[in-house]
Amino acid sequence: MHILDCRKQDLKRLFEATTGNMNQPLKRFIGFVQPEHFRKINDQTVQRSLFKNSVEVVEIEAFGKKHRSFSPNSNIDRIYQNQFMTEKLYKSIINDLAKIRYSKKINSNLPNEPLANETILERLRYARRKLPDATLHIDTNGDYLTLEYWEKFQAAGLNSIDIQVCFNKCSFIKEEVIDIIDKKMKNLGLDYYWTAKDADYIEAVASFSSLRVKMYGRDLSAYASVRGGLPNPGSKPRISPCLLPFNSFCVDLNGVAVPCCNFRSDAPELKGVGRWGQVDGVSIFEVYASEAACRWRRGLFNYARKTGSCAKCGLGVYARSRRNFAALYGLKVILTYRELKNNLATAKKYLRMSQP
């Protein structure tokens, strides 16, 4: 065995001894991270395997129309007209997923209102035929929901729906939100129960046959943040690492893959920042394993002040502690090293810092 391989194994053993000391969210975060996440992969078999073993949710903007003050679409032209991802493009994404028998979550809307047109039902039926084991999910503000729509969703194969009670001016009155949720659930004929009644977050869940329903409202002054570089209230500088470019894959209305569901590839002020590449004519696996995607993952795999579009994002934050910071830094050296010989001592130092 080559001496550098020996040193790499030494580091891995040391890292394995530290993971038990990390908090559970971060431990889950790094548990599946592989060297292939940080370098471009050309082998199609490896591309598919990496995608299948990493991506927990595929976000597809199948329909573009939502206008909320906190939505990344709130200042983009698409809100003034009904826009659809082409049927050919949508089917090509689903067909790619069928090649690996994808069985995790597919969200067919991103930040838009999918129920504004029944085209979403056709898309769901196609996805269900091709992906019988996947969880088909949508997010909605509930404006178009009726009992008849529930039955159509069930027939189309939808598994899961989240309904958000929205306030354009970010006003949040707890009693009012509870009342709205109560009335909407009853109007839809759903038996529900409360799962949260906090000062800044209200949630109730129900079932409609095989369809899981969640309805919630949240105080945006507490939860809102910059969305892919598009400003929102309550934003603070980000230090935490980010999981989203690892465990999600997002495709915008125009067929452009982006780092996470908060990016808008057609936002003029972003000037193309965050574009991983077009999936039209290219497999989603190739884009996920591209150099552009790897560059984003390398830049977000740390406890350091983020820059650019992620500088003030407050979503998916992992608490910083001495152990978490040290273990994450040590693992990054193992996974992304160029000259391991020069980094060996540094990696060992940080990994040992994470010991109890």
**Closest C-alpha to 240, from 46, 30, 100, 43:** 30
Q: H or E stretch including 181? A: helix 174-187
The 10s digit of each residue's pLDDT in 86-112 is 899 999 999 999 999 999 999 987 556
> Where would I find the H helices in 3-141?
3-18, 24-31, 44-54, 87-99, 119-130
Per-residue pLDDT band for 349 (boundaries 50, 70, 90) equals: low
Task: State residue 339's pLDDT score.
Answer: 42
Task: State residue 79's pLDDT score.
Answer: 45
Task: State residue 127's pLDDT score.
Answer: 96
| Residues contacting 176, CB < 8 A, separation 6+ | none
Q: Is the pLDDT of residue 18 over 60?
A: no
DSSP 8-class letter at 78: G
More confident residue, 24 or 115: 115
- Window from 123-127, 308-312, 337-341 with minimum mean pLDDT: 337-341
Q: What is the mean pLDDT of the chain?
A: 77
| Residues contacting 273, CB < 8 A, separation 6+ | 229, 308, 309
Rounded Cα–Cα distance for residues 142 and 144 (Å): 6
Task: State residue 150's pLDDT score.
Answer: 80
Rounded Cα–Cα distance for residues 249 and 288 (Å): 7
What is this structure's pTM? 0.80
Contact 273, 205 (CB under 8 A): no
Task: State residue 118's pLDDT score.
Answer: 79
Q: Is the pLDDT of residue 299 over 60?
A: yes
Task: State residue 73's pLDDT score.
Answer: 45
Task: State residue 75's pLDDT score.
Answer: 46
The 10s digit of each residue's pLDDT in 122-163 is 999 999 999 999 999 998 888 778 778 888 888 999 999 999
